[in-house]
Structure 1
Amino acid sequence: MALSIEPNIHPLFVTLAHYPLELLANSKISVYRTPDSVEHEWDPEHGLHNQENLPIWVGWANVTPNVDWRARNREWAGEVTGVHAYRIQLLHIDKNETVNRQLWGDPEMRVSFAEGMRVVINKSPADPRQNGLKLIVRNAVFDSLPWQPTLLCDFETGDTNGQN
């Protein structure tokens, strides 16, 4: 049994949980700060300027349809604005391919995920229909293991293919 007699968890329990997730994390994803392909910034001296929206996290994840009893459509002012579609579990928060590998494990390099971010599924060998799928983060949650964020994502309404 993984738990010790003391009320705390055995030190090896946390690392043992990571191995099964590695087997399931077969989709390469990118996470962007905003859903648009261009970010806009205001500079008081030069006005509005645009810059390319680069991914803040790239890596492997477990992508599963969210069809359980907790899946809900997103509503705003009584209108459905998104369809709750996917649960994305990142392989490991530190395994961010936009960061040099020597910095993996440095808490300063970790990304904070939030509502409204864009997730793009770059490569899904198990289901090629998901390649290029674009989703919006509805909820970014952690469990008791902070290395494994879960992103609950939506399609925008009117986007039945998740490509917009």
Structure 2
Amino acid sequence: MLAAANRIADPNVIQVGRSLLIPELGDVGHHTVVAGETLWELARRWYGEAQLYPVISFPNHITDPDPDHVEVGRVLIRPGLNYRHTVVPGDTLRALAEDHYGNAEMFAMIAAANHIADRTGSPSGRCCSSRTSPTSDQRAREAGAGHGATG
């Protein structure tokens, strides 16, 4: 469903050069849930697409599979969706999550933001056919900031 919405034929392969949204967690807004709000409705209001509700549920540790239910009074993190990354050879969703969040297991949030239906992280590590443009940390390492190359 999500792959089709973003015109992705194979959710395990992402074209080199494709621009991916990387949800931002550093400078986020907050929202207190009121009666009648759902994750679907919040995603539609905040991002223009109800299918992006996992971008809200993952960082807020909401495990209830029903996007029509969210606890009234709960304060939610509202991730930003304005950082883009251009895929380069060797990228995987897990590597992107590690680079951007320090936690490879957060790959599912990147998948959700980009309408990639397969959120398993692809055990082979080849979820994407490319690698991201270097983060500032990667550029520092590559410039000889005392760290070895990452793989």
Taking structure 1 as the reference length, what is the TM-score of the superposition?
A: 0.28
Greater RCO structure (CA 8 Å; 6+ sep):
2
| The structure with more strand, counted as a fraction of residues | 1
| The structure with more helix, counted as a fraction of residues | 2
Greater C-alpha radius of gyration: 1
